[in-house]
């Protein structure tokens, strides 16, 4: 049975405990900005979103099927806050450069037009920020920094507030200085509540996986098992765009604009989106996100 602990928020300044940040070899977040005449940039006035119950981070007993742990992993606490900011975030048009970089013909961003939301972390984030003894999700220097402070056999995520049904979702991220094996980061999507949804991840050793977690039955199901892809820039400093397109029951995965899988699954029909991290091999594994962007689809 799922157990959730409600904790107060503690802000901890992480002095000297993060690995040295790896500078990306290319500013991949500029790709989307140059494809449209204007973009909509989320500009929240505070970390919390108005009129919503914000869940900071949810991790459940979702042991990795590939990990033979001798003990059952602990539940990661769930922090629930009801924010009362004084002002509502606004969507502000931002002019962009007219030049367009070369992308693969099948890259979804070539045909989707203006994003429904684009978060570049230059003024807070649409993803809730959170920090405790196990994990950290914080905006630092215009990046969203995710740290798994301890190795574990489960994944932990932080969510945004908007529910989506059909969409293309993409994050641009970089593996930190210390990573190996199945240390990974990725996205949760179509999460009907804070403790379940689809999980898509890429690992330091150049593989990806799609799975689900259903909290009611404590059931973790692998839909697309770990698969190597030459599209992944693996290892320390590797920068990647991880994308997923969902429409009806069809789920299509993309890495750096290249389609890597397409399948049908109807476990979840709608829900919230978020980002996730897991240290399978390296305590303190860190991933740096430069952008979260999504397009709503009809």
Residue 23 in any domain: the answer is: no
Residue 159 in any domain: the answer is: yes
Number of domains into which the chain is organized: 1
Distances (CA, A) of 77 to 125, 127, 158, 159, 253: 21, 17, 12, 14, 30
SS3 category, 36: coil
Residue 58 in any domain: the answer is: yes
Expressed as residue numbers, the domain containing 275 is 30-84+91-296
Q: How many CA atoms lie within 13 A of 237 on its CB side?
A: 6
Q: What are the pLDDT tens digits along the chain (298 aa)?
A: 333 333 333 333 222 232 322 233 334 344 444 432 222 323 232 232 322 223 333 433 344 545 433 333 333 333 333 333 333 333 334 343 434 457 878 899 999 999 999 999 999 999 999 999 999 999 999 999 999 999 988 899 999 999 999 999 999 999 999 999 999 999 999 999 999 999 999 999 999 999 999 998 889 999 999 999 999 999 999 999 999 999 999 999 999 999 999 999 999 999 999 999 999 999 999 999 999 999 999 9
Distances (CA, A) of 256 to 76, 200, 260: 31, 14, 10
Nearest Cα residue to 276 out of 196, 182, 162, 156: 156
Q: What is the pTM of this model?
A: 0.71
d(Cα 245, Cα 108) in Å, to the nearest integer? 9
Residue 254 in any domain: the answer is: yes
Q: For tokens 């210390």, what's the residue?
A: 178
Residue 45 in any domain: the answer is: yes
Torsion of CA 137, 140, 145, 148, to 10 degrees: -60
Q: What is the CATH number of the domain that holds 152?
A: 2.60.120.560
């Amino acid at each position: 049975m799922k157990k959730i602990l409600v904790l107060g928020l503690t802000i901890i300044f992480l002095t000297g405990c993060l690995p040295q940040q790896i500078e990306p070899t290319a500013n991949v977040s500029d790709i989307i900005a140059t494809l449209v005449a204007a973009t909509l940039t989320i500009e929240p006035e505070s970390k919390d979103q108005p009129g919503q119950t914000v869940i900071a981070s949810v991790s459940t007993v979702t042991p990795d099927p590939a990990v033979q742990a001798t003990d059952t992993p602990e539940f990661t606490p769930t922090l629930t806050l009801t924010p009362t900011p004084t002002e509502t975030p606004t969507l502000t048009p931002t002019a962009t450069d007219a030049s367009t970089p070369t992308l693969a013909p099948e890259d979804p961003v070539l045909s989707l037009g203006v994003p429904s939301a684009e978060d570049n972390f230059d003024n807070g984030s649409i993803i809730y920020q959170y920090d405790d003894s196990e994990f950290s999700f914080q905006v630092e220097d215009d990046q969203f920094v995710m740290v798994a402070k301890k190795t574990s056999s489960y994944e932990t995520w932080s969510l945004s507030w908007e529910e989506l049904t059909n969409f293309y979702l993409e994050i641009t991220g970089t593996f930190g200085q210390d990573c190996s094996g199945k240390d990974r980061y990725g996205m949760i999507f179509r999460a009907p509540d804070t403790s379940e949804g689809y999980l898509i991840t890429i690992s330091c050793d150049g593989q990806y996986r799609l799975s689900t977690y259903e909290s009611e039955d404590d059931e973790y199901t692998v839909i697309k098992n770990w698969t190597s892809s030459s599209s992944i820039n693996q290892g320390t400093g590797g920068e990647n765009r991880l994308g997923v397109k969902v429409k009806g029951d069809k789920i299509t995965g993309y890495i750096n604009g290249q389609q890597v899988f397409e399948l049908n699954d109807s476990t979840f029909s709608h829900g919230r989106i978020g980002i996730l991290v897991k240290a399978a091999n390296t305590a303190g594994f860190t991933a740096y996100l430069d952008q979260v962007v999504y397009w709503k689809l009809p």
